[in-house]
Amino acid sequence: MAKQSSIRTLSAGSIGNFGEIYDFAVFGFSVPILSIHFFPGTDCTAALLSTFAVYAVAFFARPLGGLMFGVMADKVGRVRVMAMTVWLMALGTAVIGLLPTYGTVGIGAPILLVLCRIAQGLALGGETTGTTSFILESAPDDRRGGWIGLTLIFSHLPNALVAVLLIGLQLAAGATAYADWVWRVPFLAGGLIGVVGFWLRRNLDEPDEFKQATRKTGSKNPLRTAIRAGGLKGMLNVAMIQPIQTVGSYLLLGFMYTFLVRVAKLDPTSALFTNAAAIVVLSFMIPLGGVLSDRFGRKRILSIGAAWLAFAAYPGVYLAATGTITGALLGQLLLVLGVGLYGGACFVAAPEFFPTAFRATGHAISYQVTVAIFGGTTPLIGTLLVQAFGSPLAPAYYVALVAVACLVSIQFVPETRGVRLRTSASSAAGGEASGVIHELR
């Protein structure tokens, strides 16, 4: 691929993805404010749990969005799906910024909030797989981890930038005005970012790998093809490696800020600052993990990352719970090192488990179901564990347990570095999948 074309491909995939993740991050950082406006009249913990439950709703919509958009991505192309998902996410986010509160319309307010989160979940369910497949199939074979890692910088930086944006708005408007109406501004801005994302993606070309694969197989039903051609094994492989990456990420992205404010009693500005700094480091650790997995193999880097998280979970949460800026920053950085290294290998290995003909379908279902189970529930489980055990360190045991389970399961999945994308599902099975796909032509 020519240099100019490579830059265009990476830029469009990355920056469009930026808008998608920005929209999702705004909700996560706004949980404390949203709990006040949409679940008043209850104690703080109940309101917080209710809002985290709404946060989790989008994750359970993601498998449906993954299935719907994944099948479409395999049938009509990655680029068309990427254009649709960026519009849907922008709409769901902008509407949240316009919603009436519980004080205005009563129970209708949280219901409308749930509907907006469902729209966001459907969109992200298709976006993650569409963009990942597009970049993977466009990358040089020996640099797939590095390319995926580069796009993931822009999938994580929005979380840090949202934190900085919220700090700026709170300082500029004051706490009262921010709690009253300024909190809506970041949601409305998400709609504008969606427009920019669509503009960047509107004229992209499909990867040659995808064009050639679909021209040869021509499957009209990617889901049936995936089931009959060994795709279930690939889905199981994703389910075996994905949990700790998801739990670690959403502990940092969806839970840690609220934990620092409500449990560690750190002031909101300091909590946002430390969380933003940790996420910036995470954004650049993931490409490093991807590059290392290109050189040393996916399984080796996955194993190192999982082992790190198993050992670092307790000291990381312990430091974060001290209530000091230094402790919060150092504790999150301990977690970031493991999550970033692991994520760099995990995000490229997961789609490599499937051949091009049904990559989006197989990856979308397995990835989104796993994220729904482990990602959307992580903030809720973390909050419940702190309450149930009366200890701020309880979430650390959950992270460590999942890390150990993944460390064991990693040893049973195939190595995907260097596999041929067209028949990657057969890499550990001697070509069976390729033959079945041929029969389904």
What's the CATH number where 420 sits?
Answer: 1.20.1250.20
Amino acid at 225: T
Q: Per-residue confidence at 276, pLDDT binned at 50, 70, 90?
A: confident
CB of 330 closer than 8 Å to CB of 222: no
Quote the CA–CA distance of 320 and 326 in Å, as a whole number: 9
Mean pLDDT, residues 335-351 taken together: 96
- pLDDT tops 80 at residue 392: yes
414 Cβ contact list (under 8 Å, min separation 6) = 237, 353, 427, 428
Quote the CA–CA distance of 281 and 275 in Å, as a whole number: 10
Side-chain half-sphere of 119: how many Cα atoms within 13 Å?
20
Quote the CA–CA distance of 205 and 134 in Å, as a whole number: 10
Q: Per-residue confidence at 82, pLDDT binned at 50, 70, 90?
A: confident
Quote the CA–CA distance of 356 and 359 in Å, as a whole number: 5
Mean pLDDT, residues 25-40 taken together: 81
> What is the pLDDT, as a whole number, of residue 319?
96
How far from 337 is each of 30, 334, 379, CA to CA, in Å? 26, 6, 20
- pLDDT tops 90 at residue 427: no
Structure letter (DSSP) for residue 180: I
- pLDDT tops 80 at residue 429: no
Mean pLDDT, residues 232-250 taken together: 93
Quote the CA–CA distance of 386 and 52 in Å, as a whole number: 14
Chain position carrying tokens 């039903």 = 221
Quote the CA–CA distance of 333 and 58 in Å, as a whole number: 27
- pLDDT tops 90 at residue 351: yes
* 89-111 pLDDT tens trace: 888 889 999 999 888 888 888 88
Of 80-84, 121-125, 221-225, which range is least confident? 221-225
- pLDDT tops 60 at residue 1: no
Quote the number of domains for the chain: 1
Question: What domain range is 391 assigned to?
Answer: 3-439
> What is the pLDDT, as a whole number, of residue 219?
58
First-to-final CA distance of the chain: 29
> What is the pLDDT, as a whole number, of residue 42?
61
Q: What is the mean pLDDT of the chain?
A: 85
Of 63-67, 96-100, 236-240, 406-410, which range is least confident? 63-67
Q: Per-residue confidence at 217, pLDDT binned at 50, 70, 90?
A: low
Q: What angle do CA 5, 10, 12 make, to 5 degrees?
A: 95
- Identify the helix (H) or strand (E) that includes residue 260: none
Mean pLDDT, residues 1-27 taken together: 70
Quote the CA–CA distance of 409 and 405 in Å, as a whole number: 6
- pLDDT tops 60 at residue 232: yes
